[in-house]
Structure 1
């Protein structure tokens, strides 16, 4: 399975460390040009956010927490994932994995990019400890529900080196 144990350490934790080493320098290269001055902040306009951003943030947080909760049944995870029915097989496989049973997420920040899309900063936790701190994902409003995007799930699957249908 995607998250099998090797040498007493979760493969996910090892991959997270590798991802940090690879992505850290790349992200550091996306700075402000080195002049010491931060670029001006751009505030989202009213058209970049849903009508009730506070309610949307609460729903995103609730749904992400439930999606990554190992106790959440597969049928519910399908409902909380963008185009979830197409990913049912992948979600069912994770449901039976002992390492996935130790994985959860904590939403740390939400920034709306449109009334139907949001960038989500979260910690992916394994056994309560941050395995992938400050991870970036997206949430989409689909069928009147804020859902974890397939792009986010597939990004995590790709970190494991696995290839699954739908990603």
Structure 2
């Protein structure tokens, strides 16, 4: 039941590639139209403007490999039971304002025993990423293929508030606290 709620709670956002494909397809279909009134001449040549590939900063940070490593490191730190709460706050979006919610998460017995393994990171902007991860409980996979988000805040990639709030709600705490 828990895995169904987490897995179904986060819809993937369409990628920039899908949007670009739609634009290219629309341009191609428009170019294939015959507005010459059925004349026997060749249709006019399409005037599709070619642009350079979008810069990496349009959909990803300037150094995606370094950002991926930082996201993975910070997610594992955030979900490590041995890491003190103050250190977890440093890798949580709005960490100082989320103290109560973080306490609620860490206060849950399962929250104290859970660890994360990042499986996939997909950047949706230079400062946002979708993260697919699995949670393990005492070494056994408890929540495979979960979806969350990471945000770049103050130069650091962090676990999003949205991700933490979803997990606190799954723990059975009806009121995760201010900030959610």
TM-score for the superposition, normalised by structure 2: 0.68
Instruction: Quote the residue 2:163 is aligned against.
Output: 152
Distance 1:99 1:137 in 2: 18
Name which of 129, 142, 165 aligns with 1:118: 129
Name which of 73, 80, 93 aligns with 2:91: 80
Cα shift at 1:53 = 0.2
Which secondary structure state, in structure 2, belongs to the residue aligned with residue 80 of structure 1? Answer: coil
Distance 1:82 1:51 in 2: 20
Find out whether 1:15 has 2:2 as its counterpart.
Answer: yes
Shift of the 156–94 alpha-carbon distance from structure 1 to 2, 3 Å rule, reads closer
Instruction: Quote the residue 1:57 is aligned against.
Output: 68
Name which of 126, 132, 140 aligns with 1:129: 140
| Number of aligned residues | 138
Cα shift at 1:15 = 2.7
Say what the alpha-carbon RMSD is for the aligned residues.
2.5
Q: Deviations over 1:92-143 (max 9, x none)?
A: 3444443322100000000000000000000011111111100000000000
Distance 1:143 1:70 in 2: 25
Instruction: Quote the residue 2:30 is aligned against.
Output: none
Cα shift at 1:49 = 0.5
- The answer as to whether partners of 2:113 and 2:138 remain within 8 angstroms in 1 is yes
Distance 1:91 1:117 in 2: 21
Instruction: Quote the residue 2:176 is aligned against.
Output: 164
Bigger radius of gyration: 2
| Unmatched 5+ stretches in structure 1 | 1-13, 31-40
Instruction: Quote the residue 2:150 is aligned against.
Output: 139
| Unmatched 5+ stretches in structure 2 | 21-52
Q: Which of the two has greater strand per residue?
A: 1
TM-score for the superposition, normalised by structure 1: 0.73
